[in-house]
Each structure stands twice: as C-alpha cells, then as structure tokens.
Structure 1
Amino acid sequence: MNKFANFIIKNHKRIILVSIVLTVVMSFFITKLIIKPGMIDLLPANNSYVKVYNKASKTFNGIDSIIVGINGNEKDIINYINNVSEKIKTLEDTDNVISKMPLEFISKNLILFSNDLEQEYLKQILTSDSLVSFFHALNKSFEEPKKGYKIDNQSKKQFKSIIKNLTVLLNSINENKNIEKNTKNFLLGSEYMISNDGKMGIFIINPSIDSNDIFKIVNFVNTVEKIIKENALKYNVKADITGTYVISRDEMETSDRDMAVSTIVSLILILIIFILGFKIFRYTILSVVPLLIGILWSLGLTYFLIGSLNIMTMMMASILMGLGIDYSIHIISIFLEYRNEGYNIEDSIRQIYLKSVRGIISGSVTTAIGFGLFAFSSFPAFKEFGIVLSLGIISILIASILILPSLLMIYGNKFKQSKSYNININIKKIRLPALIITIVLLVLSFYKIGNVSFETNMMKIEAKGLKSLELNQKLIEKFELSSDNTIFINDSLEDARRLKKQLTKLETVSMIDSIVDYIPEKTLQNSRLNYSKAIKNYNSQIEKIDISKLRKELSLLNVNLLKSSLALRALKENKLADSLLNLMKSNIVNKISKQSSLTLLNAEKKINSVLFNIKNNLNTKNFITINSIPENIKENYYNNGLYLTTVYPSGDIWKYDFQKKYFNDLNKIKDKEVSGTGLIFLKVIELSGKEGGKILIATIIAIYFVLLLDLRNFKYSIIATLPMILSVIILLGIMGWFNIKFNVVNIIAFPLIIGIGVDDGIHLIHRYKIEKSLSKALKSTGKAITLTTLTTVAAFGSFMLAKYRGFVGLGLIFTIGITLSYLITIFTVTSIISYIDKVGE
C-alpha cells in the first residue's frame, strides 16, 4: 500500500487529467442510454408470456387499451361519448375507438347470433302483431327451461343487461317516451356501454403504438387525457382514463418524480451530515467529486454492457450516492485525523492507504458481491440491477481511491485544526446488557419470522390517489370489468371457438371479446338462416288492443318476475334476484295496465315499427365469414392468419383470493397461447420472490469467503459477518411483528443490507487488528462508520418521501436494516470481541 500511496503522490495531476478525459467520454455514451420502464423488459425473452405478448404486439395494433370512464346522467354520457370519441379517432396514433356496439350488423344477423332457446323467443317477439302478443312472448321467455336454470358468468352478465333494458323499456312505455330506441336496446342490447344504474359509461381506445415504446405511449396518453378533460365540463360530466397504458404513464411519472426528489434530498442530507461530521466545507465538496465521477463512469459502462436502464436500474443514482460517499468519508476521516496530529499532506495520504484503503476495498468488494450476485440471476430485472449497481460500486471505489487523494494533494494544504466528535464507550460496562438485548431481540424475531409473506397485490405498492387505479376499481364495481385483460392467440377459427367455450364456463371471467361471437359455425348458420327466413316471411296481422288480455299478460309478467326471482335466489344469485324483485316492487307493470287505450295504442305502433324494421332487414341468404365481417370489427380480432381473444376478469387480479381462482381457471385452458400485462406483472412478482431468496443465501456465503481471504482469520471472519446476519434476522422479526410484507421492490433491500451491513464490521476489525485496541479503533473508525451509516440512511431513507409506496417500503426496510447493522457493530460486535480477546477497554 505504501508503493501505491507514493504512486498517487507522484502522479496526482496526471490521474486528475486522465479522469477528466475519461469522464467526458463516458458522458457522451450516457446520452445514448435508452430507458425501458416497461414490466415486460424485466422478464426473460424466452418467457412464454413475453413471447405471446410480443407476437400479439406485432400482429395486432393496440392489444392494450385506454378505457375512458364517464360519470354523469345517461343522456350527457351518450352525448359525450358520441362527440369525444370522434375527436380521439382523428389522432395520429389511434388505431380504433370502440364507443358503440355494431348494432346494425347485429340486427341484420340477429337470428344467426342466437342459440336455439333465444331463436324461439325472438320469433315470438319479432312476429308480435300487438302489445298483447309482445307481452305474451315476453312472459314465455321467463318460463323455466326443461333442464332447469343454469347461470354461468356470461349469462349472468347478459341477464343483468336484459333486466336493465326491460326496466327502461317498461318505464318508457308508461311515460310514452323514447319507446322505439328502448325497444331496440331491449332486443339488440344497449348501443353504448353504460352501467346498469345509468350513471357511468365507458368507451375504449386502442392505440397503434408499439407497447414497448413507453415515451410515445406517454405522449399519446397525455394527449387523450387533455381531450377528455377539456370536454368533460362542456358536456356536464366527469371523465377519467385508465388501462395498462395509463397506469404505465402514471407509474413512470411518479417514479421520475420520486427519483428526482430522493436524489436531491439525499444529496443535501449527505452534504449536511458531512459538514457536521468534519466541520470543514472544502472537504465536503472534494468528497462529492469522485462520487459523481464514479456514477458517470458506471452509466457509461452500462451503455456498453446493456444499452438501457429498466424500472429497477433507474434508481441507481440514489442508491450509489448513499453508498459511494462512504469511501470518501473513510478517506477524509483518516486524512484529517493525521493532519490533526501534525502530519504533512504526503504522510497523511500515506496513512490513508496504510490504515483505511484495504478496509475500503474489502467493504466495496462485499457490497459489490451483494449487488453482483443479482447479475447471475435468470430474472433479467435482477440481472441488470446486479450488473449496473456492481459496476457503480467498483467505479466509485476506483474514483475514490485514485481521484480523492489526488485532489487532497492539491487542495489539502489549507488546513486548520478542528474539534470533532469521537465514540467513547465503556465496553466492559455495556457488553453484558448489549448481548442480553441482542439475544432477546433474536428470540422475539425467530418467534415471528414465519409470519412474513409476499405481497401479491401490486396495488399495495402503487402510489396512493392515482385516478387511473381508482377508475379501475370503479370498472370492477360497475361493470365487473377489470382493465387488466388477458389475451389469447389461436391459429384457427376452430381453436378460437373451442377456447371461447372453455372460457365461458369460468366464473372469474367477466367478458370475452372474440371474433367467434360474429362467426357462428356453418352448420348452425345454415339452420339459422332458414329460421331467419321463416320469421321474415311471417305475415303479421294487426289486431285491435284487447285491454283485458293485455292486463292478464301484464299480471302474469309480475308473477313471472317473482317466480324467476325465487328461482335465482335458490341458485344463490341474490343480486339478480333482488333486481327482478325491485322491478316488480316498482309497480311499473301495474302502472302500464292502467294507461289509456290511446296511450297503449301509441306504444304498440312504435314497438311494432321497430319489430317490423328488424324483421324485414334480417339476413336470410348470406353466411357470415371472416371476409364478410365489417373491417372495423375484423381488424380487432384477426390478422395474418391469427385470431385474438381478449378476456376481462370479473374481479381484481391483484387481490390474492381472486387472483388464485383466476390462475386456477386459466390453467384449465389447454393448448393456449396466453399473455397480458396483468400476467406479466404477476410473473415478475413470482420470479422476484424465488430469485430474491436464492440471492440472499448466495450473498451470505460469498461474502463470508471474501472475508476469510481478507482477514485470514476464521474467528474474525465470523465476527465480521454478525452485523449482516443478525440485522437480517431481527429485521425479518420486525416485519413479522408489524405485518410488513415482501414485495417486488423491497426484496432487493435484503442482499443490499447484507452487502453493506458487513462493511462496518470489516472497518472496525481491520482497525482493531492494526491498533490492538478497541477504544482506539472505535475512536477513529467508529466515527467514520457512524457517518457512513447516517449518509446511507439519508440516501435510502429519502425514498420514504416517495409517492410510489414500493419505494417507501424499500426506504423503510433499508433504513431499519442498516441502522440495526450499525448498532450491532458498535455494541454487539465490540462486546463479543472484548469477551473473546479478554479486552476490558
């Protein structure tokens, strides 16, 4: 080390010059770094979800969507949807907008889209020639099927819509308003996607942007948001947006804000701690120079090795700032210690290399191992995190032991003696209480470690108050529809049909968006075309309204509503049962029966007019094929020989109970190519949990062997590992006691705590071996490790100012872990050494 010191003293100006040139070169390459904040970039390229997602992205535009949610009264919502959806269509990056159901196409092929039971019912309805026969047909539809009632998730959703549209139709007949429109909605379904209470509507935007082009996505989302917000007041509604793209935008903006805040706050706190610790501003500035240079070097090297930063490596600057300053603290601490004792600049620098650099290198290596073992993970998120952070640690180490002493050669001549604090502990007095407290904490920790679990609800680590997440919850409540869709790809229409049949049976599926809905099987189409022809050729005979017959049918309708309600309650479908019962209790059927003949005749004419138009426009000749479907429908489902099916879960896939059911249901689907942003998120969670545990164990083993090589003493190597091992055990105990869960973000804190936590023990033992005195070791090194702990806590603790709760949790766990490591080093490790070496100082 003495030769190394002499080299620095002799060549310090050349070292600074080379460093400046290298920093300029690296800064140029930093500008070429690409940011990839998408979750898909965190998974291996050969992962099945990634393969299917990329395949779908290349084949179909807009596999992920933006959902616009509008709150207000139904009339205003419809006006808003009609006008604003047209504006969105004109945007360059809009692929298509789904604002209405294709009712014209559905109406024309109504019989072809209907099953056997529905056909008989539709025949009776469409061939109705009076209000009496219309209600008679309606009553027939309530009759119990021969095989009994069977309610699956899809029919449940349809039933809710029918009840809603029936309620609206009955009210319009009673009020003699909008009868044509509501009759059409009753038969064909609502034209717009409006909630059953009529207070919320949605429409869906499919962008034509590559899902991985996050910056283009952000610009598009911002443009859409501006349009929907600006027009909301104009149409007297409230509007927000959600969906995968919107949540990705919100996460990116929140992360950028959080990283900027934490970086600035941590830098300010580090400078304050440094000034208070050394009381000389000049050395505070000097200490930051190698830190910043090292970060720039590591970013430049990242460009050559990876070429990009992901959502995890984006936080590297904040992490490295808290860790890298430690090296400067140890160097400045030794330099000022010997300058205070009267040494000149050259001799003080030699003491840096004799007394501190070996410990700095050992501490840096163990920290780099803590990061570096991530690089061997098969999980790309951890792999890149390990490469970038270990590069950063080594870069800052090299910059610190080369550049900082060189700067001290130039700027360390101006010096005035100053008083600084020292750690003076009566080890003999505190060692027994310290060990007892440690043992008690360990016992309490082991008692609760088993309670620590992994957080599967990603919403728990998201920022609070995000409008996109709040709207996503409203979609689940109002429409039983989650924006976290799942996509399937099939190579043939037959496979897509088979998939649809399997999906229809799943309770966890709310909506299946498939081209199968528009192309029935040929054999079915053939028989249905004949049925459609029979309905179209039926000659209605208009009869005069028979009020007594009408009242009989209306009375029977009330009875059928009650019977159906009881049948549904027996099937434990209480909500559906209640909706029918409420319709009966509203007395709307009795109100209609009391209307005048003139009013009822007017209603009959309007209803007959709708029935006549639908009947006369029925398709009776042409088979529906992939080529006959309107292009604006087909492009959402079919391209280049592939068929896309999009499934919307009926619940929140971030809630563990539903998530478990959903995945169990998906596993029942065989021969599937499946993906989706929700599944990708959950795969990231799964892999981070598995890989995090492996890395934790590997880090402890690797660090111990490094310590053995460095200290060359079995006893001291074990003692040096105690801060990291004991702090992790106690931290896990704290998590168990206070129900703090692991998640995809905070799990990375543990290998870091191990890699960093061992540093304090290394520095203390190195100095103790040189000084042969615990009090002298604590007096000098104790001060340095106190400052390094404070700066590290300042860096990571600043994460607790974040809006993103994942970063808050990371900052909290890291702060607790590093604080525990420090306290165990100062009190427990010194107590153990004093007993083993029989040192009474």
Structure 2
Amino acid sequence: MSRSRLTRGLAAWVDLMTRHAIWVVLFGLVLTTLAGGYAATHLSMDTDDADLISRDVDWRQTYIAYQDAFPVYTDNLVIVVDGANADVAAAATDRLADALRDKPDLFASIYEPGGGAFFAENGLLYLDTPELADLSDRLNRLQPFLGRLTTDPTLVTFFDLLDQAMAPDAPVDLNLSPVFNELSGVFAASRAQDFGQLSWQQLIGGDQPGVSDRRFIIAKPKLDYNRLLPGEPAMKAVDTAAARLDLDSAHGVTVRQTGEVALSDEELESVTQGAAWGAALALTIVAILLYVGLRSWRLMGVSLVSLLAGLVGTAAFAAFAVGRLNLISIAFAVLYIGLGIDYAIHVCLRYREALGEMGAGVADRAAGVRAALATAISDVGVSLGLCAVTTAAGFFAFLPTSYSGVGELGLISGAGMFISLLVSLTFLPAAIALVKPWTPTAAGRASRAPFIGPRAQRVIWAVAIAATLVSAAALPFVSFNPSALDLKNPNAESVKTYRDLLATSDRSPLTLVATRDSLAGANALAARIADQPHVSSAITVESYVPTDQDDKLAIIGDLALTLALMPPDMRQHADTPAQRAAVADFAAALADYRKRQDDSRPAAKRLAATLAAWQSWFEQQPAQRQARVLTDLRHRILDGLPRQIDQLSRSLSASSVSLDGLPADLKQRWATGSGTYRVEVTPEGDLSDNAAMADFVASVQQVAPDITGAPVLELSAGATVSHAFMMAFIYAGVFISLFLMILLRSIADTLRVLAPLILSGLILSAATVWFGLPFNFANVIALPLLLGVGVDSGIHVVHRLRGDLRNRAFLATSTARAVLLSSATTMAGFGSLAFSRHAGTASMGMLLTIGMLAILATTLILVPALFPIRSPDQRRPHDRAR
C-alpha cells in the first residue's frame, strides 16, 4: 500500500472517529473500566529472582532438581539472634524458638542449627580429643569452686572464691584472665546502666562447637499467597514474639530476619511501593510538561485520559497474556507513562500547527477541529505506526532469549505501544473533537528559530566524532554485575542482615551443593572436593557422626564421676552490707594480686581501673540506690549460672552417636527417604568479590560439574543475561535496520536515523563506566529499549526533513517541539524510576534517563546536520515564502 493511500485511509478513519465522537469516547471509557476490573482480579505478582531466567536452561534445571529433592531449603525465614555473649544468645534463641513452635498455624517447622536436646547431650563428642581432655582438666580444677557456688549462689560466695583463687596459697592454679575480662565488662555496664552479663559459658566451658554470640533459627513459614506479602504474618509473629520476650538491645539481644522469604517480601514491598510512587510522580511530571508544551488544559486533559486508558488496557493485556508481574516487569506502568504519551504529543502538536495553517477565517469551529485532526493524523499517523513497530521491537527483542523476566516486560510493554497507537488514533481524536480545543500555533514562529548552516554543520560533525572516540575508549571497561543482592533495597533489614552474614560469619552462606544417590558416593565426592583450592570444607550427613567416640566417651565418663553438680538455688541471697564488704574485699585482694604479679597482667589492670571507677560511682549513690545496684550486680554476675550448670550436666550424659541416631530434623537436611544424599561445600575466604566467587566455583566444578548453589546461580545467571542482552541488541538492531530500509527506501535516510542511535548507545555504555553504574539484571534492557525508542524520534525528524522544510530552521517545527516534549515526558517516566528504593529499578531509571538525554541531543542536533544544508539566502523562493 502506497503512503498516499495510507494517508487517505487515516484521514477517512479520523473523520469517522470524530463524527461519532461521543459514542467512541463512551465506548472507550466503558472498555477501560472493564479492562481495569479484569486486570485487578487476574494479575498476580512473582517475587522469585530465579524465575527471571527461563526454567529450560541447564543450570536452572539442576537447581530445580536439587530443590525438589530437598524442599526443606526453600521458602525459609532465617532468624539471626545476636547476644551480648554466648549465654545471652543461646538463652534468647531457645526462648524464641519455643515461642515460634507454639504457632503451628504460621510455621511448618522450626529448626535450631546446633541446638536442641541432641546437641545439648552430645555436644562434647564434637570436640577434638585433645580439646576435650583440656576441658576435662579445667573442669576438674574448677570443681571445688563450682560445687561451693552452686550450694551458695550469692555475690559473697562468688567474690570470696575469687579472693581465694588470687591468694598466694591458692589451692588450684587457675587462669583468671577470662573472669577478669568478664567482670570488667559487668562493672562498666553496671556503672553505665547498660546491658552487661557475665558469660558462664566462656568461664566454664570455653570454646565449644556451636558456642557463639550469634545463633540462628531456620523457620519454614506457611506462606499466605492471598496476601500481597505472603510471609508478612510469619515475620510479624517473629517480631511480636521477640518483643513479648524482651529480646531487644536493652536486654543484650538483637533479632533480625533474612533468608528467602524475608528478602522476597521486602523486595516486593520496595518494588511495588517504588512502582506506585514512580507512576504517580511520572504522571504528575508528564501532566506539567504537557501543559507547558501544549498550552491547553483541554489538550492536556484528553491526552492524560488517553494515557490512562492505554495504561489500563496494557495491564489487562498483561493479565491475559502473562498472568503475573515479576520484579522487573512491574516497571511496565512507569515505562508506559513515559512512552505512551509520545503518540498523543505528536498528534496534539501537529493538530495545533494545522489549526494555525488554517488561519483565522474558519466559520465552523467543529468542522475546523475535525479538519485539523484529519490533517494532523494523516501527516503523523504513518510515522506513529512506524514508531510503534520499532519501539515494540526494542521490547520484543528479549522474547527469543532465556531472560524471561525482561522478556515478559518486553511482551507487555511492546504490546502496550500498539495499544497506545490504537488509543491515539481512535479515542484521542474523538475526545479532542468532543472538547474542541482551539489553540493554533502562532504564525511566524519559524523565522525566529536558529538555522544550522555549513559552519555549524562541520562543528556538529567534529563534536560527534570526538564523542564517538571518547565513548569507544571506555567500552573495554564496561561490566555486568551478576549480583541479585545488589538489585534489592540496600536499606531493607533482610538485605543488611544478609550482607552482615557475608562479611562477618565464620561460615559463609554462599555455599555450593551437590547430590548423590548413595552415601558412599557423597562421601567420596566430599573428599575430592575438600582437596580443591578455595575450599574450606565439604561435608555430608556422615560428618555429624563424631570420630574417636570410645576415647571421648571415656573422658566424659570420668568427668561425670568427679563433677557432680546440683542445680543452684537462686532464691538465696546475701544482705546489702555483706555484699558491699565482699566487693571491697575483692578490690583489696585484686590490688595485692597485681602487686605480686608485677602488674604484668593486662586483664587484672583493666579490671582494677574499671572496679575503682565503679566503686567511686557507687559511693555517690543514696543508700536505697546502692541496695538496688548490688541486687542488679548479682543478677548480672550469677543469672547465667543455672543454665550453664544444667547444660554442663546434660553434656555429661553423652552416649554413642550413630548415623541412625542423628535427629530427624538434621537428617532430612542431608538425606532423603529415597536415598539421595547432599554434599555441602563452604568457600575459603570472602566471596563478595566476583573473581573470588568465580575461582571457588571453577575449582569445585573440576571434580563436580553438576554442582549448584547460590554462587553457581549468580555466575550462571550473569552469563545467561549477558548473552541474552547481546542477542536482544542484535535482534533489535537487525530488525530495525531492515525495517527502516524497507520503509524509508533509502540507505542514506536509514543511516541518518541510525547514526544518533549508535552514538547514543556508545555514550550510554560509556556512562556505565563514568558514573559507576554497571549493567545488571534490571537495567540491561536499556540499550535494546533505547534503540527502539530512539528510532522513533529519528523517524519523525527524517520524515519532516525529507520534505521542503529541511531547508528552513527545523527546530521551529512542530516535529522538533514534539520530539523535545515527548523526550521530556519519556525522561520523566524513566527518571521517576531512579528514585525507587529498589536498587535494580533505580539503576534502570538512571541509565534510561541518560540514554534518552543522549538520544534527544543527537536526534535534534546531529540528524539535521546529516542532511544537505543551504544557507537561508540560498533557499528556493517558495521555501522563503513559507
């Protein structure tokens, strides 16, 4: 079909729409209402990062098979409990875990790594034999002191025992530095009225397996998918239980939540809030820009109504064609606001210009409006159709790739461009005909616009070449960040907690896993992996069966015979004068001890200074206040004793541990009922650096090519997305180039459209280096999308310059103003994404905004300079007459 026939067809179509304007508008409003209802009831949300990649790729299939075998590792909530010391952390964790077990309606299971009755009874078996022998020796030496203290658990007895231990004729030679360090902290906290409690675990047991001031609870919540945030009830239950149990900083405890459920829920919250806030901001800025550009409340109003109708229609298409939004495709609304308004802008500005060309002698205003609309759409309608195709091509380019997350965004937004085109050619002209805005463009405006002459043309070429060379020099430094964690809200508790675990945990959460069909196969694989570089450990379920059990049980049995302790009766207490005297006697004994030691013990020196400051502060307190301080001091020093005595007594009842005797909740994390066994590999060192992570994965893959886990997922996803990006860019580039060649029927005009896009693409790629914004899973859509969006402006400009207007100031035309205004509104939509709390969405907004700025500058300046230019006095008579 020839262009003239298309033009006549568009004019006839618009005439039909405007003659039946009221019915077209009513039908459009009813259809929009129905579409909105359908979208609201049929569009769901998927927050799984893994689903952004097609399930058909090999590495995802491997991980899915692992998840199917061990579902206990999916949809978990990791509760991190940090205590002022190991005693506080352990007690808080046990209390919180018990409270959560009482909520079976919210939690399917509660698991304490290293906790529970099994490890309480058999924990000593996991010490090395020499370590257990040292512990036994220490406990035997402490037995007289512990025996007396459990019989009389008062401050008087405690300090009297320390006085005896410091005496020259002490019955047992003890290392007093640990208790001095603990007491320094207690006295300092008492004086400052901060939390501070003596750790009996450290004093009695020392370092043992699972002993740490950081403990974990792995909760498997029952997710409510009828809610926007499925894990919210469970997460709130954790916060409520922690508050009810006084597990807060005032009591030396911090409870935080992370893990898959917390990360997903908090990411969904940040993404949805960011999308809603971004859409509102984009609409506001677009409305302001529309009024500034169109100078008409009526044109602005019908443009915004058309925009909202197209947005609702696109949402309904998303519900019908995809059924869900993912963490990237949720940005379709903001992208649509920025792009969908372009069609209305070109129609409205050309409509104003057509009114101006008609002059002031129009008798029938309604007929004049219809005639101007027919002129406007017949003039820009073909270009709008081409723009819809090319913009959609930029979105659709990801559909053939494995990056399904952006593919879904591309499908939704690409279809949205055609929906916007349809609305702009039907609803918009009907609405304009109904409200009859009469805002002609002022005549004579073109003569005041700047004209690009031959000298300016040469300057533009030189600047373009320089920008190309400078941008190309940065290309070797362009990078892709494969971290999904870096896309999330950096201020979310789950993200900050996870980063803290990566940076400070002895055992990295970034582990690798593999499965085997037999325990022997799993053990053999673990042995081979353990010998690889960059590997800290490789364990299986058999790693939980202690070695040298006969020797260890003999040591524990002997210790049980000599260390028979009764639970202390904490109801006993000494009176205030006796406690004051005990503290004073202890201070004097400490001073004598330091003199005998020639002040060479730093722990004793530090305790002496802290105790002296405490005594000075204590003497300044009123008598009643002193009594309360001493009672508080007793709690700080002795409250942890009963729990430690109980744990010590339970640990002396250890018995032989076999594979079958391991607790069920532990075994299900390492072996399935069908005979599949799990191997877990822990890295050596910090994997926050991508190079270190790649070395770790490559090292393990040498002996286990089927290894999976978070590091493999991250690196493989990065490779998959990088390849998808390259293929999408090629697909879009080839399609758009061929499409332009066919439609423009000119190699020169095709190059004129593509030249600013190539330069803008180089500038955008270089900007990722200059501004430290590497490509990631979210913003990788920028280049293919900008290729499709940028070609729109180029088509409009080339189409206008191919006519007679190419010889007068182009920047004065409605086309130039439309390109400027549509680019501004597009940047408003894209730019609003930059303020999202979701880091991935924000980076997408920043790169798209930078790219649009580059496209705007190159299109309005470079494209006119690529046409043959004659100075104004060389123009043909009819050109000057215009």
TM-score, length-scaled by structure 2: 0.74
Which residue matches 2:863? Answer: 829
Which residue matches 2:218? Answer: 205
Match of 2:55 among 30, 45, 48: 45
For 1:187-226, what aligned pairs fall within 5 Å after superposition? 189-190=209-210, 192-194=211-213, 201-209=214-222, 215-226=229-240
In 2, distance between residues paired with 1:537 and 1:237?
35
Match of 1:498 among 516, 524, 531: 524
For 1:420-819, what aligned pairs fall within 5 Å after superposition? 424-428=449-453, 430-505=456-531, 508=534, 514-519=540-545, 528=548, 531=551, 617-619=653-655, 624-626=658-660, 628-641=661-674, 642-646=676-680, 649=683, 651-670=685-704, 672=706, 674-676=708-710, 679-775=712-808, 778=811, 779-819=813-853
Whether contact under 8 Å (1:431, 1:827) holds in the other structure is no
* Deviations, residues 272-308 of structure 1 (Å, cap 9, x unaligned): 1110111101111111222222222222222232221
The CA RMSD over aligned residues, in Å, is: 4.0
In 1, distance between residues paired with 2:686 and 2:422?
49
CA drift of 1:482 comes to 3.7
Which residue matches 2:12? Answer: 6
Whether contact under 8 Å (1:322, 1:794) holds in the other structure is yes
Which residue matches 1:293? Answer: 309
Instruction: Please say if 1:253 is aligned against 2:269.
Output: yes
Instruction: Please say if 1:282 is aligned against 2:306.
Output: no
CA separation of 1:511 and 1:229: change in aligned 2, threshold 3 A: farther
AA of the residue aligned to 1:745:
A
In 1, distance between residues paired with 2:558 and 2:88?
40
CA drift of 1:457 comes to 4.6
In 1, distance between residues paired with 2:47 and 2:648?
56
CA drift of 1:816 comes to 2.0
Whether contact under 8 Å (2:87, 2:200) holds in the other structure is no
CA separation of 1:250 and 1:652: change in aligned 2, threshold 3 A: farther
Match of 1:60 among 52, 71, 80: 71
CA drift of 1:126 comes to 5.6
Whether contact under 8 Å (1:480, 1:651) holds in the other structure is no
CA drift of 1:127 comes to 9.0
In 2, distance between residues paired with 1:804 and 1:406?
40
SS in 2 for 1:203: strand
Whether contact under 8 Å (2:57, 2:402) holds in the other structure is no
* Deviations, residues 452-474 of structure 1 (Å, cap 9, x unaligned): 22224555544343333333343
AA of the residue aligned to 1:250:
E
In 1, distance between residues paired with 2:647 and 2:324?
61
SS in 2 for 1:415: coil
CA drift of 1:712 comes to 1.4
SS in 2 for 1:374: coil
Instruction: Please say if 1:82 is aligned against 2:100.
Output: no
In 2, distance between residues paired with 1:366 and 1:20?
28
In 2, distance between residues paired with 1:384 and 1:252?
17
Whether contact under 8 Å (1:335, 1:348) holds in the other structure is yes
Instruction: Please say if 1:72 is aligned against 2:84.
Output: yes
SS in 1 for 2:796: helix
AA of the residue aligned to 1:751:
P
CA drift of 1:519 comes to 3.8
Match of 2:345 among 329, 339, 344: 329
* Deviations, residues 760-789 of structure 1 (Å, cap 9, x unaligned): 111011122344534375412111111111
Whether contact under 8 Å (1:250, 1:466) holds in the other structure is yes
In 2, distance between residues paired with 1:795 and 1:82?
50
CA separation of 1:204 and 1:16: change in aligned 2, threshold 3 A: same
CA separation of 1:179 and 1:435: change in aligned 2, threshold 3 A: closer
Whether contact under 8 Å (1:193, 1:202) holds in the other structure is yes
CA drift of 1:221 comes to 2.8
Q: How many residues align?
A: 732
Whether contact under 8 Å (2:44, 2:324) holds in the other structure is yes
Of stretches 641-650 and 266-275 in structure 1, the one that deviates more from structure 2 is: 641-650
Instruction: Please say if 1:318 is aligned against 2:318.
Output: no
* Deviations, residues 97-116 of structure 1 (Å, cap 9, x unaligned): 344634753576579767xx
Which residue matches 1:573? Answer: none
CA separation of 1:107 and 1:358: change in aligned 2, threshold 3 A: closer
CA separation of 1:436 and 1:532: change in aligned 2, threshold 3 A: closer
Task: Give the share of equivalent positions with the same residue, in percent.
Answer: 20
CA drift of 1:182 comes to 5.3
SS in 2 for 1:639: coil
In 1, distance between residues paired with 2:792 and 2:652?
84
In 1, distance between residues paired with 2:222 and 2:514?
20
AA of the residue aligned to 2:231:
I
CA separation of 1:660 and 1:15: change in aligned 2, threshold 3 A: same
CA separation of 1:24 and 1:739: change in aligned 2, threshold 3 A: closer
CA separation of 1:220 and 1:169: change in aligned 2, threshold 3 A: same
Which residue matches 1:28? Answer: 37
SS in 1 for 2:397: helix
CA separation of 1:32 and 1:612: change in aligned 2, threshold 3 A: closer
Instruction: Please say if 1:415 is aligned against 2:438.
Output: yes
Which residue matches 1:241? Answer: 257
AA of the residue aligned to 1:474:
D
Whether contact under 8 Å (1:128, 1:540) holds in the other structure is no
For 1:141-180, what aligned pairs fall within 5 Å after superposition? none
In 2, distance between residues paired with 1:532 and 1:728?
68
CA separation of 1:43 and 1:458: change in aligned 2, threshold 3 A: closer
SS in 1 for 2:216: strand
Unaligned stretches of 5+ in structure 2? 1-6, 145-174, 186-196, 363-367, 564-599, 608-641, 876-882
* Deviations, residues 93-144 of structure 1 (Å, cap 9, x unaligned): 3244344634753576579767xxx44775787699964999xxxxxxxxxx
Whether contact under 8 Å (1:535, 1:615) holds in the other structure is no
CA drift of 1:315 comes to 0.3
Instruction: Please say if 1:105 is aligned against 2:118.
Output: yes
In 2, distance between residues paired with 1:763 and 1:179?
75
* Deviations, residues 133-174 of structure 1 (Å, cap 9, x unaligned): 99xxxxxxxxxxxxxxxxxxxxxxxxxxxxxx9985998999
Instruction: Please say if 1:367 is aligned against 2:391.
Output: yes
Whether contact under 8 Å (1:97, 1:203) holds in the other structure is no
AA of the residue aligned to 2:230:
K
SS in 1 for 2:218: strand
In 2, distance between residues paired with 1:261 and 1:369?
28
In 1, distance between residues paired with 2:255 and 2:562?
47
In 1, distance between residues paired with 2:753 and 2:706?
52
